[in-house]
Amino acid sequence: MTLIIGLVSGALGVGGGVVMVPAMALLLGVQQAVAQGTSLFVMAIFTGAALATGGGAGLADTRRYGMLFLIAAALTVPVTIGGALARWRYSSSSLRTGVRRRG
């Protein structure tokens, strides 16, 4: 399946997640949230590997990594709080249908 998705995404010029998330959800029966999380996790792994190899080879400005990590760390808490508030405010059925719960 990954070979086909790689060929399709390469031919269309889009990221693999655009094809992979619907394929996992529709063909494999994986829940949408799990498919999205899996896609983001894989992207984070490949991004980290590219950052490490590019920085090690001198292809990236490693002096700026500290600021990037600081920004990422600073955004972790507000994003976590926002996710918890969204789960508290909206029911799972309203998230699936895109309709806001009243009340």
Tens-digit pLDDT string for the chain (103 aa): 778 877 877 787 777 778 888 888 888 898 888 888 888 888 888 887 887 787 666 666 667 777 777 888 888 888 889 888 887 777 665 555 555 555 5
Q: Where are the domains of the chain?
A: 1-60, 62-103
* Cβ-Cβ contacts under 8 Å for 7 (sequence gap 6 or more): none
Which of 50, 70, 69, 72 lies closest to 60 in space, CA to CA? Answer: 50
| pTM for this model (two decimals) | 0.54
